[in-house]
Amino acid sequence: MRRNYETLIRRFPYAERLKPSEWGGLGLWELSYTKGALILHELHKRTGDDFYEILKRLVEAESVDFERFREIVRDVAGIEISV
């Protein structure tokens, strides 16, 4: 996954300066899917079995912004994450 992300960034270096929400509008949908998968993969590696409880709480939440996501990860796994 990381290799795919790095390959896409080499092809589209300006994409690294954009917000992920802007990638799709430029036809860089592959980049956003790759980065999203990479983020979840890294979170799973860092949290172990707590990852599944994090996913459960995210699905059960009415809405989730980044701050709420951070709270859930901190509450379940005791890990601080940042942008």
Quick: pLDDT tens for 51-80.
999 999 999 998 889 899 999 999 999 999
What pTM was computed for the model?
0.62
Q: Whole-angstrom Cα distance, residue 47 to residue 36?
A: 16
Q: Is the pLDDT confidence value at 1 over 60? A: no
Token reading at 30: 């592959």
How confident is the model at residue 26, as a pLDDT? 67
Higher pLDDT, 53 or 22: 53
Q: Whole-angstrom Cα distance, residue 2 to residue 35?
A: 8
How confident is the model at residue 2, as a pLDDT? 63
Q: Contact, 61 vs 54, CB < 8 A? A: no
How confident is the model at residue 9, as a pLDDT? 76
